Amino acid sequence: MRVIPTSTSQADAQGSPTAAVLVVLESAGYSADVLARAREVGDELQRLAGEPALTAAAVLHVARQAEPDVPVLTAAQRAQLGSPALQLAASLDRLGDFNLDAQWSTGKALASGQAETLRKMLLAVVGDPRLVVARLAEQLVRARHAREEAEPRRRQIALEIQELYAPLANRLGIWSLKWELEDLAFREQHPAEYQQIKRALSEKRRDRERYIDEVKRVLAAELQRAGVVAEVAGRPKHIYSIYRKMQRKQLAFEQMFDVRAVRIIVGTIAECYAALGVVHNLWPFLPSEFDDYIATPKDNNYRSIHTAVSGPDGRPLEVQIRTREMQDQAELGVAAHWRYKEGGVDRRYDDKIQEVRALLQGDSSATDTDELTRLSSGLFEDRIYAMTPKGEVVDLPTGGTPLDFAFHVHSDLGERCRGAKVNGRIAPLNHTLHSGDVVEIITGKQPAPSRDWLSASGGYLISSRSKSKLRAYFRRVDDAAAAHSPPAAQPATAPAERPVEPPRATRARKAIQGGRSPVEIDGVGDLPITLARCCAPVRPQPIRGYLTLGRGVTIHLADCTGLARMIRQKPQRLLQVEWAESDSARIAARIQIEAFDRRGLLRDISDLIAEEHVSIEGVSSHTDPDDRIARFEVRLTVRDAAELAKLQRRLARIPNVFKVRRAR
């Protein structure tokens, strides 16, 4: 790793935005190694974008990411960097590690559709399009230094570069960045093939670049002599491109004629053929390598003349000839190289890529503050990109909910949806998702959707696609119900049934929930006993009894306000009672539990109660579809207050449970 000097001169700081911010960061205490990496990112970004504030922001961001323990900048240091740079750096910090390590742990490339959606999601998450270029510069330097990492991490970096960042650089027209990113990823993923092609080239890159420069000089002079106004551009073929063509066409390296290539851009079609004559007069052409896509365009309307010649020193040279219109169409229009190589056209995506390109290329229509604000706030404003826990990306309309997410993944998942977690936290089904959210859908075993989900006021479904899937489900259910014979008609009126009063002893057992009575009442025989719900007494709390006509004796806490009110009205019904001494007598109690719903929650609750040797007499539950909070009321019998308190403490420690209280 390159190491910067221990100090940076003020003159150097004034001449370079990278050096200027390094002076500040050096005084803040960042190490030399970290500042060396930050300088490399800053220099690359300044070359790509030429915006000092963005360069300073990237340098600050890289340093903070590498050494988060360095003290925060002082007010004076922040003033030196300036507000625009600090704001952009904060945005880069929030973007954070938009890497794919957790999701792509297998090291295998995603399907092309998923990779493309990830690129869209990155643009949506970034918001400010300038940060896309900063991110690309950061990843380029990261890839250059990948060999300093452990082997698994190197492969992961290469995969992210190949699937996400190199294609983004391609979309944005940053060709030099795209070529280097692809070569660096190829070097890590296929080291043997990389070295083989590198050796086969038998030249250093600088030598090849000098060769291309000489070809351009000769061609430009001959074209001018022939009266053809042209722009000649060229570059050595990068290693990954050579490898892909060898694989695609099943060619050996010796059969490659476009290791070196130049492109001639002219004004008219007639000048294309005039330029072709100049090329063929200069160097002998190879007939088997000639294609006229102007006379016969490709299926995607790509037009150009391709020819291969034996150039200076007898080295193979590919020459492409096209008009400026053909060039723009090939690079920016429907015939763009990336379209016919990767497939698929999304007009909305394409339009916004063009906006970002205009901004990055310094188009006067897209550089003022108002236009930048519009791009920053409007980029992909009509779509969001959320992820499954496994890293698959789901493309949703803005305002999409976890329920939309479930139906977009699969109809069955939507139909069985019971709740959702967003970024690890329980969220209601009508929660509004944002790009970058990780969504986990909680399901039941059987479909049980609600027709309320179709109500616009509920806000459960935003996507018309999701609504169509749910309507289709209910149509199937309704059709199946209509196909069966209707149930037999019930009599218009049915004889009223007289309620049968249970025997006194039965009634007592139902009230006490278990065996012998837990209380002893002086001077009173076998009467039904009911524990008052208003105060829910439990042994050994002081108690008193109240004789209720037709219902036996109701047991209250001695200081129950409800009992005091009844005694004032009927003092003669007050009875002196005390808890029975027998441990076998059980007392009915009710506890209420609230928890974030999840699979297996009720099982965990019942298993714990069984471990405490407490009998469950009944359970009722309800899950709120809005917030996915499950509420349980458990009826059970306990020996005393201590046993009940211990049970409550243990229940409160069950995962997802956040409230346990005794019902009154």
Most confident of 270-274, 552-556, 640-644: 270-274
Q: Look-up: residue for tokens 């169409």?
A: 329
491 pLDDT band (50/70/90 cuts)? very low
pLDDT at 4: 34
> How many domains, in total, are found in the chain?
5
Q: Which residue has the higher pLDDT, 636 or 515?
A: 636
pLDDT at 413: 93
Q: How many CB atoms lie within 10 A of CB 52?
A: 18
CB neighbours of 597 closer than 8 A, spacing ≥ 6? 418, 419, 426, 442, 623, 628, 629, 630, 656
Please say which residue of 477, 496, 517 terminates a domain.
477
In sequence order, the β-bridge partners of residue 323 are 266
Mind listing the pLDDT tens digit for each residue in 654-664?
888 888 888 86
Distance CA 177, CA 166 (A): 8
Distance CA 370, CA 378 (A): 12
pLDDT at 629: 87
CA 77 centroid distance within chain: 35
Most confident of 45-49, 76-80, 179-183, 276-280: 276-280
Q: Look-up: residue for tokens 């000839």?
A: 321
Most confident of 255-269, 281-295, 366-380, 386-400: 281-295
> In this structure, are 73 and 167 located in the same domain?
yes
> In this structure, are 87 and 22 located in the same domain?
yes
> In this structure, are 427 and 408 located in the same domain?
yes
Average pLDDT over every residue of 304-333: 83
Six-digit token pair at 534? 């208003």
> In this structure, are 74 and 87 located in the same domain?
yes
Helix (H, G, I), strand (E, B) or coil at 523: coil
- Helical packing angle, 32-48 and 52-66, nearest 10°: 150
Average pLDDT over every residue of 364-388: 52
Question: Mind giving me the DSSP string for 404-447?
Answer: HHHHHH-HHHHHTEEEEEETTEEE-TTPPP-TT-BEEEEE-SS-
CB neighbours of 455 closer than 8 A, spacing ≥ 6? none
pLDDT at 506: 31
Helix (H, G, I), strand (E, B) or coil at 640: coil
**Angle 478-484-485 (CA atoms, 0-180°, nearest 5)?**
125
Six-digit token pair at 537? 């007494």
pLDDT at 584: 54
492 pLDDT band (50/70/90 cuts)? very low
Most confident of 93-102, 204-213, 461-470: 461-470
Q: Which residue has the higher pLDDT, 252 or 551?
A: 252
Distance CA 108, CA 521 (A): 76
Residue of 65, 13, 59 whose CA lies nearest to 38: 59
> In this structure, are 190 and 234 located in the same domain?
no
Q: Is the pLDDT of residue 358 over 50?
A: yes
Average pLDDT over every residue of 25-52: 87
> In this structure, are 260 and 313 located in the same domain?
yes
Is residue 3 domain-resident?
Answer: no
pLDDT > 70 in the chain, percent = 72
Say if strands 552-557 and 529-531 run parallel, antiparallel, or are unpaired: parallel
Distance CA 226, CA 282 (A): 12
Is residue 251 domain-resident?
Answer: yes
Is residue 179 domain-resident?
Answer: yes
> In this structure, are 436 and 330 located in the same domain?
no
At residue 627, what are phi and psi to the nearest 5 degrees? Answer: -110, 0
pLDDT at 644: 85
Please say which residue of 194, 216, 240 terminates a domain.
194
When the pLDDT of each residue in the chain is averaged and rounded to a whole number, the result is 76
**What's the order of all strands across the beta sheet hosting 439-443?**
425-427, 417-422, 439-443
pLDDT at 220: 94
pLDDT at 639: 77
Q: Which residue has the higher pLDDT, 151 or 59?
A: 59
> In this structure, are 78 and 215 located in the same domain?
no
Please say which residue of 537, 553, 579 terminates a domain.
579
Mind listing the pLDDT tens digit for each residue in 2-36?
333 333 433 344 456 788 888 888 888 888 988 99
Q: Is the pLDDT of residue 404 over 60?
A: yes
Looking at the whole model, is its pTM more than 0.75? no
Q: Is the pLDDT of residue 487 over 80?
A: no
496 pLDDT band (50/70/90 cuts)? very low
CB neighbours of 488 closer than 8 A, spacing ≥ 6? none
pLDDT at 94: 66
Q: What is the CATH number of the domain that holds 165?
A: 1.10.3210.10
> In this structure, are 177 and 120 located in the same domain?
yes
Mind listing the pLDDT tens digit for each residue in 575-623?
777 777 655 566 778 899 988 888 888 888 888 888 888 888 788 888 8
Six-digit token pair at 164? 């996400």
> In this structure, are 575 and 609 located in the same domain?
no
AA letter at 384: I
pLDDT at 101: 42
pLDDT at 231: 93
Distance CA 11, CA 254 (A): 51
In the DSSP assignment, the letter for residue 543 is E
Is residue 467 domain-resident?
Answer: yes
* 3-state secondary structure labels for all residues of 107-164: CCCCCHHHHHHHHHHHHHHHCCCHHHHHHHHHHHHHHHCHHHCCHHHHHHHHHHHHHH
Helix (H, G, I), strand (E, B) or coil at 41: helix
pLDDT at 578: 76
Distance CA 175, CA 165 (A): 12
CB neighbours of 369 closer than 8 A, spacing ≥ 6? none
Q: Look-up: residue for tokens 């890497």?
A: 99
Question: Residue 416 in contact with residue 444, Cβ under 8 Å?
Answer: yes
> In this structure, are 141 and 111 located in the same domain?
yes
First to last CA, the chain: 70
526 pLDDT band (50/70/90 cuts)? low
Distance CA 600, CA 106 (A): 29
pLDDT at 457: 81
Is residue 484 domain-resident?
Answer: no
Q: Is the pLDDT of residue 531 over 60?
A: yes
Q: Which domain holds residue 619?
A: 587-662
Mind listing the pLDDT tens digit for each residue in 145-155?
988 888 888 88
Q: Which residue has the higher pLDDT, 136 or 335?
A: 136
Is residue 371 domain-resident?
Answer: no
pLDDT at 535: 78
> In this structure, are 64 and 99 located in the same domain?
yes
Mind listing the pLDDT tens digit for each residue in 424-448?
888 888 899 987 788 999 888 888 8
Is residue 336 domain-resident?
Answer: yes
pLDDT at 224: 94
Is residue 376 domain-resident?
Answer: no
Average pLDDT over every residue of 496-500: 35
- Helical packing angle, 464-482 and 402-409, nearest 10°: 70
pLDDT at 103: 46
Q: What is the CATH number of the domain that holds 606?
A: 3.30.70.260
Question: Residue 188 in contact with residue 155, Cβ under 8 Å?
Answer: yes
AA letter at 355: E
Average pLDDT over every residue of 166-192: 81
Q: What is the CATH number of the domain that holds 428?
A: 3.10.20.30
Q: Which residue has the higher pLDDT, 165 or 462?
A: 462
Residue of 399, 446, 402, 397 whose CA lies nearest to 420: 402
Q: How many CB atoms lie within 10 A of CB 379?
A: 19
Q: Is the pLDDT of residue 378 over 50?
A: no
Q: Is the pLDDT of residue 550 over 70?
A: no
In the DSSP assignment, the letter for residue 451 is G
Q: What is the CATH number of the domain that holds 297?
A: 3.30.460.10
Largest Cα–Cα distance of the chain, in whole Å? 130
Residue of 450, 473, 418, 352 whose CA lies nearest to 601: 418
Instruction: For residue 540, say if its preceding peptide bond is cis, omega within 30 degrees of 0.
Output: yes
Q: Is the pLDDT of residue 344 over 60?
A: no
Most confident of 96-110, 204-218, 379-393: 204-218
Q: Look-up: residue for tokens 């038998």?
A: 202
Distance CA 195, CA 177 (A): 21
H-assigned helices in 145-233 = 151-160, 166-171, 175-189, 191-201, 205-225
